[in-house]
């Protein structure tokens, strides 16, 4: 049986493939030992989604668990607005629209579509400044590129990395841990 890729790991992998490995190493430890302020704020911002307290309006589906058989993905969405047929991914502060953000949203989109939902709009919502960034629905070409990313994640092997000197990881929570 093939295992599923967590949707949240797509953004992490595109940030740096080694970060997914490093997360797995530290996954058994208390997050307090390695999470810095941005990670703590992100966790707090997601609490309303996790607890289902984002809104009492019936039009919003929050924290729904989703699966996508086509790509072997699983995870949770942040918000699906049934009235507007809009899928919304929330981020603490969006300075740039990174490919990882877009592919994470595409993964949720493909899963919801496979589950029978109609989606007409994709948004990335920046909580810090309350701005919404419209993301175009994936084209056939986008879907091909997305499939390549998922295949890269599935075929990734830690043995491929001989030395890890990623400036992204050095300036992240892993830098404080000596990575």
Q: Where are the alpha helices (DSSP H) in 78-119?
A: 99-114
What are the sequence ranges of the domains in the chain?
5-177
Interval 20-35: pLDDT, tens: 766 666 555 455 544 4
Count, in order, helices (H) and strands (E) of the chain: 6, 8
Interval 74-133: pLDDT, tens: 999 999 999 999 999 999 999 999 999 999 999 999 999 999 999 999 999 999 999 999
Question: Which tops the pLDDT comparison, 92 or 48?
Answer: 92
Fold of 5-177: Lambda Exonuclease; Chain A (3.90.320)
**Residue 177: which pLDDT band, with cuts at 50, 70 and 90?**
low
pTM of the model: 0.78
Separation CA 19–CA 69 (nearest Å): 25
Instruction: Using alpha carbons, list the distances in angstroms from residue 5 to 37, 102, 113.
Output: 26, 16, 18
Q: Mean of the per-residue pLDDT values for the chain? A: 81
């Amino acid at each position: 049986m093939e295992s599923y890729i967590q949707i949240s790991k797509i953004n992490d992998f595109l940030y740096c493939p080694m970060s997914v490995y490093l997360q797995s190493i530290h996954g058994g430890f208390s997050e307090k030992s390695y999470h810095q302020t941005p990670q703590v704020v992100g966790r707090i911002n997601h609490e309303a989604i996790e607890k289902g307290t984002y809104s009492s309006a019936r039009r919003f589906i929050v924290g729904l668990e989703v699966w996508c058989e086509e790509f072997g993905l699983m995870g949770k969405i942040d918000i699906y607005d049934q009235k507007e047929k809009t899928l919304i991914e929330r981020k603490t502060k969006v300075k740039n629209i990174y490919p990882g953000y877009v592919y994470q949203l595409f993964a949720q989109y493909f899963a919801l579509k496979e589950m029978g939902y109609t989606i007409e709009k994709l948004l990335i919502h920046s909580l810090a400044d309350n701005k919404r960034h419209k993301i175009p629905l994936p084209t056939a070409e986008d879907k091909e590129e997305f499939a390549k990313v998922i295949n890269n994640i599935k075929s990734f092997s830690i043995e491929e990395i001989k030395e890890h000197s990623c400036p992204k990881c050095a300036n992240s929570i892993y830098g404080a841990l000596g990575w």
